[in-house]
A and B are shown apart, each in its own frame.
Chain A
Amino acid sequence: MDDNNIRELFNDFNPLISNTDHFMYRLQHQLDIVDIVKARSQTIHKATRRAAIIAGTTGFIAGFLLSMLLPHIATFVSRLNLNAYSLGLSVDVENIYATISWLLIGIISTFIAVNAYSLSLSLLNHSKQQ
């Protein structure tokens, strides 16, 4: 048996397949599902990106406004220092009150940003669903 014989074997070899219309209908249905999932994931991706931008901006604004209040926060921290002395605690925060103030600003700003992210994400998803 040579190469030509093998070719002859495959000449009229035409395996029977199932109904083409049924196959295409099934495929179209699957593609519809794929399109729905694709659209949904794109919406989620967009909403997440927008929420991240909103959270970043809110956090920045909050941080900026709080840093404007830095002298007041510093006073508040120094009062805490006095209270600590009056209670007999030997905690000396006088030299690090600026650091504590910035730390407070950072924590508050991050808290606001995280909440802004969650809130905007839920609002964006809710509006898309409607």
Chain B
Amino acid sequence: MTRQEFICHVREIQEPLRRFLTALCLSDSQLADDIAQEAFIKAYLAIDTLVDSSKFKPWIYRIAYNIFLNQSRYRHDLVSYDQAIESTDHNTSDDAFRFQDLYLALNKISNKERMAILLFYMEGYSIKEIAQITKSSTHAVKQHLSRGRKHLQNIYGR
């Protein structure tokens, strides 16, 4: 894949990926952009390893997911919704306020559950595809989804 082709693929998927990462980072769009940038650069460096270009999108999501997990291991404040809100600009804060309840609910579930919930409900991926992205079994994904749903039900049911 040439650089031009790579850029074309990036243009197609950068918006949904960044929206997804912003949700994953609890409205911290700056952090989401940093993760997206790193994911695209890592993908560009390893572009020769991608055999099927139709799998570009899930491949990028997998790279971004790994970066997110690595960052959250070293940055414990990553999952703090309040800090995420503070670090965002005014427009983003308005947006975060609109979805405040949802962000608060997402803040209370684990990274893996949040990832599964967002990929399933926001991005519309199937359980099998989520398993491929997160490199886990379908059973594990089902468990994460089930737990995530329960947590959301508990939070919204109150």
Which of A's residues lie within 8 Å of B, judged by CB?
Answer: 1, 3, 5-7, 9-10, 13-18, 20, 23-24, 26-28, 30-31, 34-35
Contacts and interface: CB of A to CB of B under 8 A. Distances in A.
B27 A15 contact: yes
B36 A10 contact: no
Label chain B's interface by main secondary structure. helix
A18 B31 CA distance: 11
The 10 A-B pairs with the shortest beta carbon distances in the complex, nearest first, are A16-B95, A15-B22, A10-B121, A17-B18, A1-B153, A15-B23, A15-B19, A10-B122, A1-B156, A16-B92
A17 B15 CA distance: 8
Contacts of B91: 16
Given A10-B102, A13-B102, A15-B29, 10 more contacts: A1-B153, A9-B121, A13-B99, A15-B22, A17-B15, A17-B18, A17-B32, A24-B11, A27-B40, A27-B41
Contacts of A1: 152-153, 156-157
A6 B149 contact: yes
A41 B98 CA distance: 48
Interface in B39-93: 40-41, 44-45, 91-92
Given A15-B19, A17-B19, A31-B41, A24 B14 contact: yes
10 contacts: A1-B153, A6-B149, A13-B102, A15-B29, A17-B15, A18-B30, A23-B14, A27-B40, A31-B44, A35-B3
B63 to A, nearest CB: 14
Interface of B: 3, 7, 10-11, 14-15, 18-19, 22-23, 27, 29-30, 32-33, 36-37, 40-41, 44-45, 91-92, 94-95, 99, 102, 117, 121-122, 149, 152-153, 156-157
Given A1-B153, A15-B99, A30 B22 contact: no
Contacts of B3: 31, 35
Given A6-B149, A27-B40, A35-B3, A16 B29 contact: yes
A16 B30 CA distance: 11
A30 B92 contact: no
Nearest to A10: B121
A6 B121 contact: yes
A95 B19 CA distance: 82
Contacts of B153: 1, 6
A34 B121 CA distance: 35
B99 A27 contact: no
Contacts of B29: 15-18
